[in-house]
Structure 1
Amino acid sequence: MKLPLLLSQFLYQTKKLDLPGIGSFSLDPSAVIPEAGDRHMQTPASGITFKNISIKTPDEALVQFIKDHTGKMKPLAAADLDFYLTTGKQLLNIGKPFYIEGIGTLIKNNEGKFDFTPGEYVTTRLEDISEKKPATQSFEEAPREYEPTSNNVRQGLLLFGLVAGLILIGWGGYYLYKRNTYVEPTAETRPAKTIPESTPQQPDTTKTQSQNPATQPATTQQAATQPSDTKPAATPTQQPAATPTQQPAANIVSTSPDATLYKFVILRTENKGHALRRYNQLLGFQLNIRMDQKDSTYFKLYFPIIATVRDTTHIKDSLADVYAAHVVIEH
């Protein structure tokens, strides 16, 4: 039912209608209201009067009446009434008449007050909304049964996505951290191993004697005539065997005539900080380490070692055991 008809019906039943911002309507108790069967007859609403009084809030009984006959919640019923009265006041402020069906017409005069002209009584049958409420409620409640399930599924998916995202972020951060803080194993962190070629600095006396047979008797004679209290000259065989912690393979220099200078590369990288740390570390061990740099984007660390072709494999394996997992030989 339309709101103006509800206002007129409320006035017919209670004999009084207070509208905020408009004024107060009254119905003469002796006035005769037409019955529903007399709808074809138009009866002037001469028993309705209007007073220009200030009303701040709507009548609670009026809001309840609108709620009962529209099926809406009470706040919605009050909002509908406020919107209807606000529209009416706007019409009055611009000089337009405000017609309320079943009551009459209001118009604003020069003094700023409202003049009222009674209209005609309206007879209508009020519908009983309570009979239709069960059907409406059952229709509205049906889809609500699925709302908790859908909300739970949505929340579960959001939670799963959040946990998966946190795991991926954590894994990525850990991977970058390990990559940036990686330090190659050094001689201190590797287990000590005996290097077979630990005494390559000893001269090959047998080979020298075989090449110079004339000198062999003299050497023997000198050894026989040497006094027993004279301290013999130190020989390379008296030096203790080197261990990986002394890095002997990095300083090997072969005395063979067919020996050639080789570069045993232990590190190739584009990371300048990593190359400098490794270079300074090996220099601290008093090693003959060298570093080549190209355009500040490529760094190469290597040991320059004079060796024969057959010794390069031994030297490469020794360096791989102590300094780097992969050693490359460059000529």
Structure 2
Amino acid sequence: MKLDILFSQYLYQHKKLVLPGIGTFTLDPAAAIPDDTEKQRSAVTGITYDSKSAPKIEEELIEFIRSHTGKIRPLAVSDIESYISLSSQLLNIGNPLYVDGIGTLIKGKDGRLNFTPGSYVSAKLEDITVIRESTEPRRHEETFSRRESSGNNARQLLIGVAALITLVIVGGGAYYLYQSNAHKKATETEVSDTVANAVVTDLPNRQSGNAYMPDSNLIARDSAAMKRKADSLAALQNGSQQLDSTGKMPLKYVLEVTANKYRALKRFTQLRENGNKVQMDVAPDSSSFKLYFLIPSVYSDTTHIKDSLTRFFLNKVRIEK
């Protein structure tokens, strides 16, 4: 069960939930909470939000999380602090924060948080012993934990490698563009010279009236060669209307799409701290989180870039326009 569901259950029981740095949620004692047997989720009523909150996590909330997750107190506190920290970062970059069973917070243009009630969620707390996540997210969490334990030296090494890969990609793209343009000019010059030479060579052999005429078959063959060259260049630059001034198209290299908000925020923060310019798209209802890199690329380099990112981040990368 997710941590925010435990928060909603705490609010239903204690009528007040205080999250330092985020705000205070208050439930009207007269509000009707649906029981566990109801299959359809009803809209939340009677919950109000105040941006003011206590500076510390309340002991009752810590004990509630500890008792329903089976964790020791320091770990329960760490989970709550991590949730608050990552949620604050999510709000600060302009994305909504959806708390299941309570509602959605989003920062307005005036900098203040606006609250929209959601729908009630029912859960049998007596059956909860530990917060479980799917096997795949847990595998990624373990991977990042191993990376964190390697210390500052490993972090610096990763930053250096990432910078080197970026330089190689940018340099390779520039070199490919230069070679493509140079080859195009050389081919066009070569074809033009071939046609001119054909005319000069054939002058002693053909005469029509007062004008000498080149071999029509030779001209047709060279014209076809020029057309094939132009067609191949057009195919290579397919979608040129979207190319930038350097001949590259900005493509999304999607690292991960997950519905786990806690995991998405944690990974986003870790990648940013490691110097990676990762970006994140969040669905309006916070049901999906997409982590991706926006990299200007030529089509011939996309496979190489995608494979390099896959090997480096230990996760299969796909491309979106």
TM-score strictly above 0.5? no
TM band (smaller chain): 0.3 to 0.5
Q: TM-score, normalised by structure 1?
A: 0.38
* Larger Rg computed on CA atoms: 1
The structure that is helix-richer by fraction is 2
